[in-house]
A and B are shown apart, each in its own frame.
Chain A
């Protein structure tokens, strides 16, 4: 009797999670796999084939876009790490207790505003009649208005800005767990600042670094709004291709295949990253 109640409560507690996984994650993906393997041979007549995937391989514009998305995402990840690490280190180790909470809150506040509004913020700054252009003209550096939007740099800046928080949070929590005396020991035993950083702080923070990189890379490669709004027609982001297939061309089969290719590609990159850094998913993302 007691055992049954226990089991029942376990099932009930587990139910929302199970429902979420099955209904919202597993089922749609299974549906998409089936969809992606179908080829339209006549109106309302379909057959199973790898046609959609073959089409992706045969059309350079598709896989070029995917590679471009991947490499820009990697660049964004590296930039977010380079900018985020000092910030996280400052918050976790250097700032006083009060400043620290304030700084952490400052990092979080932008998240209260939607992605869309934040992207428009960048547009206000960077467009031809925007603040940056105006300021440069006022100081005399520019003679005429200049367009800063719709290029790769704008996309990268916007993406780094959007995702950097997801780098800072895991980094702060791992660096925070590091005993200060470990850094002092590093100096005491004769290391200079660079040795301590390279041999002690970075290896210690590695789980946080990898976790942050995975999250940031996945978010960037799968982002849609920022590249479209800041990069315009030139952004050639892979999610845009997927959107096109689904919405503009109404070719769901091909869109589903692209979606899977993006998932496979990012998973491959993450797997490679884990192999190279000698970490595992359970020691990084699962921890922080």
Chain B
């Protein structure tokens, strides 16, 4: 283990219990300097509670929170150098932009000239140099967002916490703000801890993501790892789109697991969590739509990787046309719908509803987890 000063933020076995409810249950994390870390989980998974403990608004039932290697458990929230962008931003409506940003500086007894200089500087960095004298209600949603970040960044925090700040924005603005947040993080080079239930926000912006469920971290890793090498059924199901079957293991050898699904399908999986599920264990099987190829005939061996292939026959139920992200819904023999990505060129060999097709996917892309 490396010395803890390299980490801007560490949580060591942190728990928070509300009565018998374990909102946060034995969570540990380490966030290296200057990285963008996301905590991704469904609502009610405890991610906001965890963030509030880091900010100091809730006390941890057990465990330790360290900022720059120093425990902050006995530091009140106003003395922690962790700033927070609230879900609804919590800009002060009775102050203008300048006053909002100056508030924190004045609390730290920064003199007038320095305050002016730092506010001017931070407004330039967020590319809103002329808004200092505007009232909060005169700003657009995206501008408010940036002011809320500026208000924190002007204080030069060790860690910036963001609690689903994009939730209130409309879709288009949200997409733009995702990129902007990532750029701002690069520019300020501060550690950002971002809380969200929106997987695309977490995957797009983060260096590392923690998947949180029922108060525990399911898995921590880079977005690619979480997507391609999930370690638990929850992660596999929560991150990205996926087809899911539940079934039972009928045979195992060292590398592969043979499964019969509840609908009577036989699949071979090559990928699973840390340990392969044992014989006759009940499992969940996940296959991402982009790895399923819809074709006119069955293939046994994948041309590129040489992997063995699972395949099944079905009837095209409908096409979900969305340009490059088009999907096809195929109904298999048992009546279940399976999603597969397809390329629709507009030519005569495109798939049409009602046709019967083969779905092929390699065993390496078939993931199964004990359930």
- Could you list which residues of chain A lie within 8 angstroms of chain B, going by C-beta atoms? 179, 181-182, 184-192, 195, 199-200, 203-204, 206
Contact = CB atoms under 8 A, between A and B. Distances in A.
A125 to B, nearest CB: 42
Given A184-B57, A185-B84, A191 B90 contact: no
Contacts of A184: 55, 57, 77, 84, 86, 90
Contacts of B76: 187
Nearest to B79: A190
28 contacts: A181-B88, A182-B92, A184-B55, A184-B57, A184-B90, A185-B84, A185-B86, A185-B90, A186-B103, A188-B82, A188-B84, A189-B78, A189-B83, A190-B78, A190-B107, A190-B108, A190-B155, A191-B78, A191-B103, A191-B107, A192-B78, A192-B107, A199-B103, A200-B92, A203-B92, A204-B92, A204-B93, A204-B94
Contact of A188 (B78, B87, B94): B78
B104 interface: yes
B94 A179 contact: no
B94 A189 contact: no
Contacts of A182: 90, 92
Nearest to B101: A189
B146 interface: no
Given A189-B107, A190-B107, A181 B87 contact: yes
A203 B99 CA distance: 13
Interface of B: 55, 57, 76-79, 82-84, 86-88, 90, 92-95, 103-104, 107-108, 151-152, 155
B88 A179 contact: yes
- Listed from nearest, the 3 A-B pairs whose CB atoms lie closest are A189-B104, A190-B107, A185-B90
Nearest to B84: A188
B101 to A, nearest CB: 10
Given A184-B57, A189-B152, A189-B155, A179 B90 contact: yes
B103 A189 contact: yes
Given A195-B107, A199-B103, A187 B77 contact: yes
Contacts of A199: 103
**Chain A contact surface mostly:** helix
Contacts of A186: 92, 103
Given A189-B104, A195-B107, A203 B78 contact: no
B40 to A, nearest CB: 21
A285 B83 CA distance: 37
Contacts of A192: 78, 107
From B78, B108, B152, residue with most partner A Cβ within 10 Å = B78
A187 B58 CA distance: 13
From B92, B95, B152, residue with most partner A Cβ within 10 Å = B92
Given A181-B90, A186-B92, A188-B82, 8 more contacts: A184-B84, A187-B57, A187-B78, A188-B77, A189-B104, A190-B104, A200-B92, A204-B92
B263 to A, nearest CB: 48
A188 B83 contact: yes
B52 to A, nearest CB: 8
Contacts of B78: 187-192
A197 B155 CA distance: 21
Contacts of A179: 88, 90
Contacts of B107: 189-192, 195
B181 to A, nearest CB: 19
Contacts of A187: 57, 76-78
Nearest to A190: B107
B191 to A, nearest CB: 16
A241 B112 CA distance: 55
B79 to A, nearest CB: 8
Nearest to A188: B84
A119 B234 CA distance: 68
A11 to B, nearest CB: 37
Nearest to B76: A187
Contacts of A189: 78, 83, 103-104, 107, 151-152, 155
From B76, B77, B83, residue with most partner A Cβ within 10 Å = B77
B103 A181 contact: no
A77 to B, nearest CB: 22
A188 B103 contact: no
A186 B78 CA distance: 8
Contacts of B93: 204
Contacts of A181: 86-88, 90
A191 B80 CA distance: 11
Contacts of B104: 189-191
Contacts of B83: 188-189
A192 B106 CA distance: 12
A197 B92 CA distance: 13
A187 B82 CA distance: 11
Contacts of B87: 181
B55 A188 contact: yes
